[in-house]
């Protein structure tokens, strides 16, 4: 078995201040970009963190599951000023993705191959997470990109590129005629080592499987690609959902480390997080793709009320004025639609802003289950 490795480029961060957690109240009647800084938290004045703004506005394609409208609005309203981002080492280590960045499956010329590569290694990755309480460093999007791209080459899904060539992801030569930059080479070597430490014990490469499945459906048979747009949409939904469930947990642990120090207190937080998602799932791991949308993205407000309230209750003890305001927004069966929608927007806006302030990127948000038929995808 050959360990997976590859060259990756990791975004750099600077600064040595304490975590900056600036929270926003996104309630109705309050501009979602109006900030309410938490007392005692310093602004990250020396931040030099790049922000990927494209992920705050997802593309609309036939194979991309639609976002929950409330969460779509909340994501678009996030104040992405880099000075808001925490500069703590623990936050930077949690900036990546527990599962592949869904945008790797959405954009680019090789998104179908990325999905097939992921389906080949998915069971190994899931198994590596069993019994793991925390991850010291989450893989960055570039880590995932390099891993999946190298996997497609080794499995001969794409022509192999000599390892000595200086090529981009698409195989176009870069920096022709230029001398190598030692600083870039050192950064690339460190990134390669980081990627190896993350993936080498979790994903190994054997022979290319004769059949690749998504659930019980054949996605690839031999060299024939059977990956339909419906299957692509389901894989993308699953990537958003899996990352969302882990991100809620990572964010809560980062904001409230003392609440996770003992088994009893951690169990309380775990139960709250599990109550945010439908009961047919296995905690933070998604059992499969439901037949219809449930949970935070349910189309009927009555169907997502309990899940939104679970997230609200989780957030009420987070630092900041926005979280304190949520304490008075209790939701029950007697709640009116107007009150629910106002509270839901407050919860979604505060969550998205808080996630950005801590980890410097857009969070994965709830998406609706792909409900189209194959016939509706023609053209």
Question: Which SS3 state, helix, strand or coil, does residue 317 take?
Answer: coil
Per the model's pLDDT, the better-predicted residue between 370 and 335 turns out to be: 335
Q: Are 203 and 147 in contact (CB under 8 A)?
A: yes
d(CA 347, CA 349): 6
Helix (H) or strand (E) holding 50: none
Q: Tell me the backbone φ, ψ of residue 128, rounded to 5 degrees.
A: -70, -20
Domain parsing of the chain, residue ranges: 2-377
> What phi and psi values does residue 361 have, to the nearest 5 degrees?
-150, 170
pLDDT digits (tens, 9 = 90+) for 218-253: 999 988 889 999 999 999 999 999 999 999 999 999
SS3 316: coil
Q: What was the pLDDT predicted at 4?
A: 39
Instruction: Supply the pLDDT for residue 306.
Output: 96
pLDDT in tens, 256-297: 999 999 999 999 999 999 999 987 656 678 877 888 899 999
Least confident of 28-32, 79-83, 268-272: 28-32
Alpha carbon distance 306, 304 (integer Å) = 6
Half-sphere exposure of 51 (CA within 13 A, CB side): 21
DSSP state of 19: P
Confidence tier at 108 by pLDDT (50, 70, 90): confident
Contacts of residue 234, Cβ cutoff 8 Å, sequence gap at least 6:
214, 289, 370
Query: Sheet harboring 217-221: ordered strands across?
Result: 211-214, 217-221, 224-225
For the beta carbon of residue 149, count every other beta carbon within 10 angstroms. Answer: 22
pLDDT tens digit string along 164-199? 333 333 333 344 455 556 655 555 555 555 555 567
pLDDT in tens, 109-148: 899 999 999 999 999 998 888 877 777 789 999 999 999 9
Residue 224 has a pLDDT of 87
- Looking at residue 155, its pLDDT comes to 86
Task: Say what percent of the chain tops pLDDT 90.
Answer: 57
Alpha carbon 14 to its chain's center? 23
How far, in Å, CA of 77 to CA of 351, rounded? 12
Confidence of residue 40 (pLDDT cuts 50, 70, 90): very low
* Average pLDDT over all residues of the chain: 79
Residue 217, beta-bridge partner list: 214
Task: Say how far apart CA 169 and CA 176 lie, in whole Å.
Answer: 16
Taking residue 320's Cβ as centre, other Cβ atoms within 10 Å add up to 25
């Amino acid at each position: 078995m050959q360990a997976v490795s590859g060259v990756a480029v990791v975004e750099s961060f600077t600064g040595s201040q304490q975590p900056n957690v600036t929270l926003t109240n996104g309630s109705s009647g309050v501009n979602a970009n109006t900030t309410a800084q938490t007392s005692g938290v310093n602004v990250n004045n020396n931040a030099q963190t790049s922000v990927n703004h494209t992920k705050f506005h997802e593309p609309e394609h036939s194979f991309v599951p639609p976002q929950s409208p409330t969460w779509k609005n909340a994501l678009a309203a996030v104040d992405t000023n880099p000075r808001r981002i925490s500069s703590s080492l623990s936050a930077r280590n949690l900036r990546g993705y527990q599962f592949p960045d869904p945008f790797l499956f959405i954009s680019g010329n090789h998104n179908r191959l990325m999905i097939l590569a992921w389906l080949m290694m998915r069971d190994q990755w899931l198994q590596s997470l069993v019994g793991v309480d925390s991850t010291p460093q989450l893989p960055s999007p570039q880590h995932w990109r390099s891993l999946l791209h190298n996997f497609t080459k080794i499995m001969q899904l794409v022509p192999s590129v000599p390892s000595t060539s200086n090529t981009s992801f698409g195989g176009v030569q870069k920096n022709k005629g230029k001398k190598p930059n030692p600083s870039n080479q050192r950064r690339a070597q460190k990134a390669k080592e980081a990627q190896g430490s993350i993936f080498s014990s979790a994903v190994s490469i054997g022979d290319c499987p004769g059949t690749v499945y998504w659930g019980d459906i054949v996605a690839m048979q031999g060299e024939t690609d059977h990956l339909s747009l419906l299957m692509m949409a389901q894989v993308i939904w699953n990537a958003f959902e899996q990352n969302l469930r882990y991100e809620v947990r990572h964010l809560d642990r980062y904001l409230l480390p003392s609440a996770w120090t003992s088994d009893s207190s951690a169990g309380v937080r775990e139960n709250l997080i599990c109550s945010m998602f439908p009961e047919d799932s296995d905690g933070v791991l998604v059992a499969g793709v439901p037949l219809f949308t449930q949970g935070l993205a349910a189309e009927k407000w009555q169907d997502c009320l309990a899940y939104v309230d679970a997230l609200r209750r989780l957030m009420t003890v987070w630092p900041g004025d926005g979280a304190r305001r949520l304490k008075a927004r209790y939701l029950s069966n007697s709640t009116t639609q107007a009150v629910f929608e106002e509270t839901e927007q407050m919860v979604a806006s505060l969550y998205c802003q808080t996630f950005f302030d801590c980890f410097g990127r857009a969070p994965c948000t709830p998406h609706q289950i792909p409900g189209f038929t194959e016939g509706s995808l023609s053209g």
